[in-house]
Amino acid sequence: MVAIGSLLFCDACGSLLPRVTVGEDNDMVKCDDCFQYTKDTSAKVITSKSKPSAFPSALRSKHSEVQAVNAEDLQVEAVISKDCPDCGRSEMFYHTKQLRSADEGTTVFYRCECGYKETQNN
């Protein structure tokens, strides 16, 4: 049975050390890069704990107040110089969405203040 411990790093050069010890009664590991010996501490169990008070209360309150965001609230329209075929206005609002597969172009949605809507596949 093999116990999985922490990773060992060389004290001299910082390289990852092999999992093989040098001798049967020796607890030293030899670095393959700089050939220095480092004590094998892979059998040590390291446990870390943190208190709830270790995190800022503002962060904790934000985490507990997660709210759902409506996708339409994030929609932002830009203005483009395009004549509306319905009312003749020279500017229209537009936004794009990726509705088809990733290797296909986006779909452009145009909207005029008069209520006219148009789509174009790129």
Residue reference for tokens 């500017």 = 91
Q: What's residue 89's pLDDT?
A: 93
Residues recorded for the chain: 122
Task: Say which CATH architecture domain 71-121 belongs to.
Answer: Single Sheet (2.20)
Q: What are the tens digits of pLDDT across the range 39-89?
A: 766 666 767 777 766 766 676 666 666 656 666 666 678 899 999 999 999
Q: Say whether 61 sits in a helix, a strand or coil.
A: helix
Q: Which residues neighbour 39 within 8 Å (Cβ) at sequence distance 6 or greater? A: 27, 28, 29
pTM exceeds 0.85: no
* Dist. CA 79–CA 74, nearest whole Å: 16
